[in-house]
Amino acid sequence: MSEAFEAYIAELKTLDLDELQSFYGELAMEELTAVLQRFYQEAGSYHQRLVNAIEIQNVLEIIRVSHSLKSMAALTGAQQYSALCLWIERFMRQDELDDLMELATYLPALWQQLEHAIQQNLRSVGTPH
C-alpha cells in the first residue's frame, strides 16, 4: 500500500500556488500572504487534532478532521497533504485501521514539507510566519 501511495503523491506538488489562485482568482501579494497564513494556522490545529484522533483511534473524529483537512488543503494547493487526508478518510470509511496506521506514518513528513513550503512562500514576500 505504501508504494501505491508514494507513487500517487509523487505526481503531486507540495504546494501549488497556481491552484490556490485558480480557486480564489488573482490575488495581490498581501491577499496571498493572508490566505497562506490563515491556512497554516487553521490547518496546523486540524493536523494536531488528526494526529491525536489517530493515536486514540477515534474513527468518527478521524473521518471528520481528515475530510476537513482534505478540503482546506485542496483549496490552498497543498496537493500531497490533501491526497493523504483523502486516503486516510477513505480507509477510515472502509474501516481499514491497519492501512490507516501505515498512512499515518506519512503525516509528520508531509506536514513538515508543507510547512516548509508555506514558510518559504511567506519569506519570499517578506512576511514572517
Helical spans, DSSP H, in the chain: 2-10, 17-24, 29-55, 59-76, 79-93, 97-104, 107-124
pLDDT tens track for 59-87: 999 999 999 999 999 999 999 999 999 99
Rounded to two decimals, the pTM is: 0.91
CATH of 2-124, one of 3.40.50.720, 1.20.120.160, 1.20.1250.20, 1.10.3720.10: 1.20.120.160
**How much is the average pLDDT of 10-21?**
93
Domain positions in the chain are 2-124
29's CB contacts (< 8 A; 6+ apart) are 125
